């Protein structure tokens, strides 16, 4: 009888110890689900209201194939990296739909990546922010994504705009750090409210659209007394475009000491483009920047020639709102009333 009593007592004590060693609450598990979204409206023209953050009208864009995501959380007033991811995207997974979130793009068309990016939560219910940049071409950065561990490093992170991606600048998107909603950064999450938190992460262009229009005065297109003196624009380049390290999340804060001097050039009119000698329109995408010498202006550097003469260099300063989180749509219209004389430094009238 005594033996049975002791045996029962040991069993009870063992069960008590086993239960007491278990956590008071089960480990919380959940998922942060990020849906990459791009605002890409249809049938937009310069005369309509375009989507906020989009630098132009309807055009042909290539959907991104690479995404770089950094998730930040705050502890004791300090921000630190919680998760990082470098992802190859499935081009077939981008689907056109409408956006019905809280951003100003509500009800507009977007492309949503239908293979959601997910981060598993185990034993933690963080609140934080998500930053991302995605591109058609693989990007190289000022430092590896794995070295980003503070908010300062994140916001100063840059990508290389080398010649290999100049033709794809319009296909790079990111989350501007100073785009706010309700006084806070717009890409925030709070996973303490449920097992799955879904975030539509809307990314915006990092390259500005430069839209050029030119026109030779009607009365200067023909000169009956001297046909060779009739004014025609025979050559035009946009030259010395930005070609270097640009901010990932601060697209309107690229500042140089002086005008950009790299060799990246956009050919717009050549002697063989006879159809553009008297008037035309062209656009291209480039990284916007301002200079310390002339803050608040983008220096568009042009090289032109009329009537097959020598080149005329001219910088067109286009005013930009550097307080905006979104890259601008830069429009410049100039009229040629006389042939350019390279030796006089003649001004060109520009409206923007």
**Poorest-pLDDT segment among 23-37, 116-130, 193-207:** 23-37
**What are the backbone dihedrals phi and psi of residue 79, each rounded to the nearest 5 degrees, phi first?**
-95, 140
- Is residue 207 within 8 Å of residue 286, measured between CB atoms? yes
CA dist 197 and 191 (Å) reads 6
Q: What is the DSSP letter of 10?
A: H
Question: Which of helix, strand or coil describes residue 199?
Answer: strand
pLDDT band at 309 (very low <50, low <70, confident <90, very high): confident
Identify which of 30-34, 59-63, 272-276 has the greatest average pLDDT.
272-276
CB atoms within 10 A of CB 227: 8
- At residue 346, the pLDDT reads 57
Q: Locate CATH 2.60.40.2580 in the chain.
A: 29-205
Please state which CATH number belongs to domain 29-205. 2.60.40.2580
CA dist 189 and 33 (Å) reads 10
- pTM confidence score: 0.84
Mean pLDDT value across the chain: 84
Neighbouring C-alpha atoms within 13 Å toward the C-beta of 316: 24
**Poorest-pLDDT segment among 59-63, 142-146, 222-226:** 59-63
CA dist 246 and 253 (Å) reads 9
pLDDT band at 107 (very low <50, low <70, confident <90, very high): low
Handedness of CA 343, 345, 349, 352 (dihedral sign): positive
Please state which CATH number belongs to domain 208-351. 2.60.40
């Amino acid at each position: 009888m005594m033996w049975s009593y002791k045996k029962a007592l040991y069993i009870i004590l063992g069960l008590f110890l086993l239960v007491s060693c278990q956590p008071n609450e089960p480990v919380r598990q959940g998922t942060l689900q990020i849906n990459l979204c791009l605002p890409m409206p249809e049938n937009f023209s310069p005369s309509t209201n375009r989507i906020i953050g989009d630098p132009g009208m309807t055009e042909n864009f290539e959907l991104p194939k690479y995404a770089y995501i950094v998730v930040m959380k705050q502890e004791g007033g300090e921000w630190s990296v919680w998760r990082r991811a470098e992802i190859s995207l499935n081009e077939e997974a981008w689907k056109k739909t409408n956006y019905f979130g809280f951003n100003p793009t509500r009800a507009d068309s977007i492309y949503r990546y239908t293979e959601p990016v997910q981060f598993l939560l185990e034993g933690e219910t963080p609140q934080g922010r998500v930053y991302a940049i995605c591109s058609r071409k693989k990007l190289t950065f000022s430092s590896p994504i794995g070295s980003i561990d503070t908010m300062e490093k994140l916001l100063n992170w840059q990508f290389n705009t080398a010649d290999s991606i100049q033709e794809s600048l319009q296909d790079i998107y990111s989350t501007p750090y100073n785009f706010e909603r309700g006084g806070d950064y717009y890409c925030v999450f709070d996973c303490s409210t449920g097992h799955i938190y879904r975030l539509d992460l809307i990314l915006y262009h990092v390259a500005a659209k430069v839209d050029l229009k030119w026109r030779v005065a009607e009365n200067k297109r023909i000169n009956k007394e001297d046909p060779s003196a009739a004014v025609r624009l025979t050559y035009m380049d946009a030259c010395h475009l930005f070609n270097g390290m640009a901010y990932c999340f601060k697209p309107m804060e690229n500042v140089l000491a002086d005008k950009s001097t790299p060799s990246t050039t956009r050919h717009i009119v050549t002697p063989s483009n006879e159809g553009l000698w008297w008037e035309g329109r062209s656009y291209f995408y480039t990284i916007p920047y301002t200079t310390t010498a002339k803050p608040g202006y983008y220096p568009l550097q042009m090289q032109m020639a009329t009537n097959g003469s020598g080149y005329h260099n001219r910088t067109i300063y286009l005013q930009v709102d550097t307080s905006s989180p979104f890259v601008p749509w830069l429009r410049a219209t100039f009229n040629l009333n006389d042939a350019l004389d390279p030796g006089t430094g003649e001004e060109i009238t520009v409206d923007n």
